[in-house]
Amino acid sequence: MTIPLFEAKRAARALRADVPDLSHSKALEIVAHQLGHRDWNTASAKLAGDIGTAVPILRIFDEAMAREFYVDYLGCTVEWEHRFEPGMPLYTRIRRDQLVIDLSEHHGDGTPGSAVWVPVTDVHALHGELSAKNHPRQRPGVDEHAPGGPTLTIIDPFANVIRFCQVVDR
C-alpha cells in the first residue's frame, strides 16, 4: 500500500490518541509494519517519493529589512548566502524547522507579493510567540475559519505573504 508520508504520520498520531501510553516512535514503527515496511526509517524513505520538497524563492529588496523580519522576528536561521561578487545582489537560504525559503535580491527571482502556505503543528503557539515579540509593523491574528484550518497570515516587508496553517480534518 502506498500512501503519502504525511498520511502515515497522521495515522501514527491517531494511534497515539487511542493508546495514550504509546510512544511516538513506537506508533511510527507500528504504522510502518502495517504498511509492509521493516521499520519507520525504511517506510519514511519509501513514502517520501522521488521528488523533493519545493523551496520557494521570495523577492526581497533590502538585506537588513529581510534579516530583521526573517531572522529576528520569525526566528529563522541563515543556512547560506551567495553573491557573485561583493556589492552584487544577495541570494540566501533561511530555515526554521522544516520551513525552507530562498530570499533573493536578484531581478527576476520571485515576484513581489508571492504567497507561501506553510503547515504548522500549533498555529496558536506560533501566534503567541510572534505576538510576544511586539513587532512594530506586525499584529497578526489567527483566522479560525480559513480553508484547511486555523491560519496565521504574515506579510513580510516586501509584500510577500506567508500563511501558517494548522491543518485540520473537516
Query: pLDDT at position 170, please?
Result: 56
d(CA 96, CA 36): 33
Query: For 73-126, what is each residue's pLDDT tens digit?
Result: 999 999 999 999 999 999 999 999 989 999 999 988 888 889 999 999 999 999
The pLDDT value recorded for residue 44 is: 82
Q: Stretch 1-18: mean pLDDT, rounded?
A: 82
Integer Cα distance of 153 and 106 in angstroms: 25
For the record, the C-alpha cell of 131 comes out as: 505576538
DSSP letter, residue 69: I
Percent of the chain with pLDDT over 70: 97
The torsion defined by the Cα of 15, 19, 24 and 28, in degrees rounded to 10, comes to: -40
pLDDT score for 132? 92
Banded model confidence at residue 7, pLDDT cuts 50, 70, 90: confident
